[in-house]
Structure 1
Amino acid sequence: MSAVGHGEQDHSHLMDRVYRHQRHFYDLTRRYYLLGRDRLIGELDAERGTRVLEVGCGTGWNLIRAAKLFPEAEFYGMDISHEMLATARRAARRQGADLHLGYGDATRFNPYASFGVSRFERIYMSYTLSMIPDWQATLAQGICNLAPGGSLHIVDFGEQERLPRWFRSALRAWLAKFHVSPRGELERVLRALAANLGADLQFRSLYRGYATYAILRLPLQGR
């Protein structure tokens, strides 16, 4: 096992502090404002043998729902918070979901070391990039872990550009308390990556800009 860097260790401790108590009621509250998650899960289109990885799996809520919707696929989840992973493991046992869960830093995650799997046909990030300081490295690592022809699915907070100013200000202030920051450059970065990789990108704004939603599909053969 490789040594844990100070940056990874600091972020891991921060996430454990933030969610040590919140994890017990996280899913009850987040379902009302983490919009677009059901759409993302439904569009994974994971057939028999499809390997699906969630980056930043948290309590396992998304993975358990996806595993029920696509029972013939294989589901994997990684997170940097030991507290969240403990909750996810308990939830998976309680729901009878066959999940493979592991600890890791999303900016340099090695799936083979954790799961014995090198590539995934589907990787998704649900309200994850807005919590990771080096979110661009997370995107790059996610793409490195995609199989040819695979797809990266993302839903996260948008710029709320078509919502009232008072709502935007209140939401931003509230998100900052949990170290969450919408990534206004996400579309530009994804379009640059897609152009460089010869990939197809679908990018759209949801709920008047409340959320952004993207699917990046790699070509079957690399350039």
Structure 2
Amino acid sequence: MSAPVPVPEATPGTSGELMDRIYRWQRHIYDATRKYYLFGRDRLIADLAPPAGGTVLELGCGTARNLILAARRYPQARFFGVDISAEMLASARAAITRAGLSDRVFVAEGDASDFDPAWLFGEARFNRVFLSYSLSMIPPWRAVLEAGIGVLAPDGQMHVVDFGQMERYPAFLRAPMRAWLAAFHVSPRADLAEALGEAAARAGRTAELVPLHGGYAVYGRVNGGMLPA
């Protein structure tokens, strides 16, 4: 794996600065290195299937790698991304321009746990919301789940992929992997299934979470449509 340079512990109010320090140089090689161990991202994109004329929002969009691939796959939809790192967004905007997608892909700086999409993008609700390996890097990750579900259209869906607990891997592989992730402020959420289900239920929706690759990753979805009262 390609390891980033360790940075100091985060303190309240410095999440954006922390992410900028981590990614100021990494952003230039981020996509080339992460493709080898961020599994499940392409499956998530394939499952999005937004309706014609629909809107899709990524929370923690980083370099816009996912947004660009999704926009190419679904030319009938518009795509939006929020990220707290100005450094990553600089790479994202450049990549979107190079891809010729500036008319359909839009990104803005914001906190994924507390943002106003109507102010950022002029859109209050989205047909799809997704998070790709971002929850494990955001301390108030439960608030991010609530925020993502909160901006879904009535029949919308939220998709999540992130690191799992590696439950089918031997301890001698799990321990160094977890230590490596922890060194770079990545914390796989052991109670993600429970938190996702509870957040979905509060919104009158259902959720499901399945392991991928022996638990190396997990893939979750909050289903569209309000449940009967």
Normalised by the length of structure 2, the TM-score is: 0.91
> Are 1:53 and 2:47 matched, yes or no?
no
1:116 corresponds to: 122
Q: Which amino acid aligns with 2:204?
A: G
Q: Check if 1:20 corresponds to 2:39.
A: no
Q: Report Cα offsets for 1:104-163 as digits up to 9, x if no partner.
A: 001111101100110111000000100000100111111111111111100000000101
Could you tell me which runs of 5 or more consecutive residues in structure 1 were left unpaired when the two chains were aligned: 1-5
Letter paired with 1:34? L
Residues 221 and 194 (structure 1 numbering): CA distance in 2 closer, same or farther, change over 3 Å? closer
Task: Say whether the 8 Å CA contact 2:161–2:218 is kept in structure 1.
Answer: yes
Mind listing any 5+ residue stretches in structure 2 that lack a counterpart? 1-10
Displacement after TM superposition at 1:222 (Å)? 8.1
CA RMSD of aligned residues (A): 1.4
Secondary structure, in 3 states, of the residue corresponding to 1:106? Answer: coil
Tell me what 1:29 maps to. 33
Tell me if 1:84 matches 2:85.
no
Mean Cα deviation higher: 133-142 or 188-197: 188-197
SS at match of 1:67: helix
Alpha-carbon displacement from aligned partner over 1:179-207 (angstroms, at most 9, x marks no partner): 10000010011122233333132210000
Q: What are the within-5 Å matches in structure 2 for residues 15-164 of structure 1? A: 15-97=19-101, 98-164=104-170
What letter matches 2:194 in structure 1? Answer: R
Q: Which aligned runs of 4 or more in structure 1 are off by greater than 4 angstroms?
A: 220-223
Q: 1:166 to 1:159 in 2, by over 3 A?
A: same
1:119 and 1:222, CA in 2 relative to 1: closer, same or farther beyond 3 A? Answer: farther
Map 1:175-186 to 2 at 5 A.
Answer: 175-186=181-192
**Mapped partners of 2:132, 2:83: distance in 1:** 12
- In structure 2, what is the Cα distance between the partners aligned to 1:43 and 1:165? 32
> Which whole-Å CA distance do the structure 1 matches of 2:79 and 2:226 have between them?
22
Counterparts of 1:161 and 1:121, CA distance in 2:
33
TM-score, with length taken from structure 1: 0.93
Aligned match of 2:3: none
Q: 2:82 corresponds to which letter in structure 1? A: M
- Following the alignment from structure 2 to structure 1, what is the Cα–Cα distance between the partners of residues 73 and 53? 14
The percentage of counterpart residues that share the same residue type is: 50
- Return 187-196 or 141-150, whichever deviates more: 187-196
TM-aligned CA deviation for residue 177 of structure 1: 2.2
Query: What amino acid maps onto 1:178 in structure 2?
Result: F
Going from structure 1 to structure 2, the CA distance change for 1:165 and 1:175 (only over 3 Å counts) comes to: same
Aligned length: 217
Structure 2 equivalent of residue 3 of structure 1:
none
Please give the alpha-carbon distance, in whole angstroms, between the structure 2 residues aligned to 1:138 and 1:210.
22
Query: What aligned pairs does 1:160-179 form with structure 2 within 5 A after superposition?
Result: 160-179=166-185
Amino acid of the structure 2 residue aligned with 1:197:
A
Instruction: Give the secondary structure class of the aligned counterpart of 1:43.
Output: helix
C-alpha separation between the residues in 2 aligned to 1:194 and 1:138? 12
The Cα of 1:220 is off from its aligned counterpart by: 4.4
Distance in 2 between residues matched to 1:187 and 1:15, nearest whole Å: 26
Partner of 2:212: 206
3-state SS of 2:20 partner: helix
